[in-house]
Structure 1
């Protein structure tokens, strides 16, 4: 299996989870740090689906990028570089956290003094440089940037299931496998040490209530009274094995900016250093050669001990992303319309991210992608991986924002220039409806064995190591590189009620 980018640098420090894994396979299991106990410990009946690994500490830092709204375009390259450094600092701090569990057990102040304190100092310096970059081009840096410097320890609870940020009520998907867990202390580590996933990250699809996630609310925007057509583009399933751990949208010009490996279909020139001109001149895996868009998502891996091509690399095994990469058996990419109105053409090079790679520590406001099983797709769940019955395949679904501000192809936080439809299906004031991208990925995944609070050979999405491979962090990325003729065809098909491909 190959990739389309430079050979990754090996880490200067030990692998992120190496220390934790080494302890896990040693006698006696792990002794975890338990700090910043969550409020729900006062109520042991509170949402038992949040109990997995409750004493496994990770690092929670304010997401600076989501709080930067008015960055001048001339400062964005420098700011993006600093934001990428902030992510790298968190990754390094998590590596330290994962490899010093015994030190933590013997010293109550170890985490604060040896990990979180130094991290705050590094973040303060990066935040100062962000302010300098903004002021250098005549912009006004946000007041009090230093308030984002401090990070804290976080118990490894599931995110609050009350609201997933799209107006959908959360649910308790059952108490399976919760009763006698040891919170990760003595379970097999599947080669991934403290980084998860854990038994409580999985749910039997039969225990998910049908229609419990309203896919019409801010998600699947197609309706009978608006633009009812669709356009399907067939771009294959990454047969060329294009993988890297860059993110051209969030961290342009930064090697390993994603800290996890992406699967690519469509555009064949995808790395952190690709310009719009590079994308426009590239080959495409799409059958319609007018579609040079790039569609990419974190790879799904089976933690079965397989040593992949990136087993020792940053973004791969060196950052806790381990096991066999599972390519989708099907990748269905479709554009649909709006419930209330016609759609307008997307601008070329429009960038959209749906979901949040940091939802476990950020909170679930931007969580969006969901898991299901073939034959059960009226049952969708955002905060669990699904256990499918024999003969059924795992399905990942991402429905993108379908309202555009009419001006910008991107924004400083990569979100403000697009929006989901409102509850009545219309776009917010100042936004106009564009074709909604829907990505449905189907995988042949051996069903993990979950027993006595342990999971063997789990599957999980790649992610930032401190996110513990939580399913809530699944996300999907898109850059529109259709030529004008094809985009106009997409719009015409959708507005006329036709189903085209």
Structure 2
């Protein structure tokens, strides 16, 4: 599903056992499965956390004379409508509960596994200015309370225990490129950031950025432990170098790539507005929390990720690009 190499299947070995022994073993296995509660990943290991004071502040990239320094912020609310599901229309279209964890949405109110470009373009939205794009990411949960979905697929049945947290703030911002102007995104462009299977692979695709409110620029791939006057944050930066042709690709990544640290896009790609989503949570100091994940990922913080489908009209996208290229801070109205 996420374009990761599979494991080599072992050669079967034939074993002959007495019939009574086989029956007893099967009965024991069935009984053990029946009484065993769903596997819980409620408490990630201690090494998955870091004190925010120990995290250095990341330097801001230098800007060149041709930089596009403007921004365009879209007010899409905080999912006050409780739009949640365990679907993933970008990666697993047509598969109900294909994510095996719960996604949190703002923007398009119809998004599910069976959404199409046409259905998204016709649906209501939470975003000001009529932006029908869909923005989504895994929910964050506090682990000292039982979730309403403790017996549901995507929730407790997939190891994602705890009460879902509403973000206290969701900032959706499109930014420029430090070296050049940006060009418009095509309508229905799909974007993915982060690696939801990072715990069982490598860190090549990891883009998790955990932090604390009031501590800008300090990001870690581990859960951030915040002081009493601060709450956890997640910053999702999306790729911004488009191949100029496709709205999607076989792995949902190669058609739009990340620039280098200084803003240079790979060969044969073009800078588009860079989407940044910043999530902030109000959480009592010391309250345990964890992000939803695939069951085998054990709620590893490195697996944080997000998805986006651009459903802006061409006119609205042109306005967004103009603001960014002219160096103006703009907001949707």
Under a length normalisation based on structure 1, what TM-score does the superposition of the two structures give? 0.58
User: What is the aligned partner in structure 1 of residue 324 from structure 2?
Assistant: 494
Equivalent residues of 2:121, 2:311 under 8 A apart: yes
Question: 1 or 2, which has the higher strand percentage?
Answer: 2
Q: CA deviation at 1:288?
A: 1.1
Among candidates 246, 255, 261, match of residue 417 of structure 1: 255
Are residue 380 (structure 1) and residue 219 (structure 2) matched?
A: yes
Asked if residue 436 in structure 1 is aligned to residue 250 in structure 2, the reply is: no
- The counterpart of 1:357, out of the listed 180, 187, 196, is 196
1:205 aligns with 2:52: yes
Structure 1 residues 150 and 226, CA, compared in 2 at 3 Å: closer, same or farther? same
Deviation for aligned residue 1:192: 6.3
In structure 1, the residue matched to 2:99 is 258
Q: Which residue of 2 aligns with 1:313?
A: 152
Within 2, Cα distance between the matches of 1:296 and 1:256?
Answer: 15
Instruction: Report which of the two has the higher share of helix.
Output: 1
Q: Deviations over 1:130-176 (max 9, x none)?
A: xxxxxxxxxxxxxxxxx834379xxxxxxxxxxxxxxxxxxxxxxxx
CA separation in 2, counterparts of 1:335 and 1:222? Answer: 17
Residue-by-residue CA offset, 1:386-406 (whole Å, 9 max, x unaligned): 111111121110111011000
127, 138, 144: which one aligns with 1:298: 138
* Matching of residue 334 in structure 1 with residue 173 in structure 2: yes
Q: Closer, same or farther in 2 for the Cα pair 1:151/1:494, shift >3 Å?
A: farther
Q: Residue by residue, what CA displacement relative to the aligned partner does 1:342-378 show, whole Å, maximum 9, x if unpaired? A: 1111000100010011111121101112011112123
- Counterpart in the other structure of 2:14: none
Is contact 2:191-2:238 (8 Å) kept? Answer: yes
How far apart, in 2, do the equivalents of 1:346 and 1:222 lie? 22
Q: Which structure would you say has the larger RCO, counting Cα contacts within 8 Å and 6 or more residues apart? A: 2
CA-CA distance at 1:305 after TM superposition: 3.1
Secondary structure in 2 aligned to 1:231? strand
* 1:74-223 pair list within 5 angstroms: 148-150=6-8, 193=40, 196-211=43-58, 216=61
Measured after TM superposition, the shift of residue 209 of structure 1 is: 2.6
Instruction: Tell me if 1:287 matches 2:128.
Output: yes
Separation in 1 of the partners of 2:56 and 2:311? 38
Is 1:343 matched up with 2:173? no
Q: CA deviation at 1:66?
A: 1.9
- Report the alpha carbon displacement of residue 253 of structure 1 after superposing the two structures with TM: 0.2
Helix, strand or coil: the match of 1:236?
coil
User: Do residues 402 (structure 1) and 232 (structure 2) align?
Assistant: no
Change (3 A) 1:497 1:271: same
Compared CA separation, residues 327 and 192, structure 1 to 2 (3 A) = farther
**Map of 1:478 onto structure 2:** 308
CA RMSD of aligned residues (A): 1.9
Match of 1:446 in 2: 284
**2:234 paired with 1:393:** no
Q: Which residue is 2:3 aligned to?
A: 66
Local SS of the residue matching 2:129: coil
Tell me the secondary structure at the aligned position of residue 128 of structure 2.
coil
Q: List per-residue Cα deviations over 1:97-155 (Å, max 9, x = no partner).
A: xxxxxxxxxxxxxxxxxxxxxxxxxxxxxxxxxxxxxxxxxxxxxxxxxx834379xxx
> Residues of 1 paired with 2:167 and 2:271: CA distance?
30
| Whole-angstrom CA distance in 2 between matches of 1:397 and 1:320 | 24
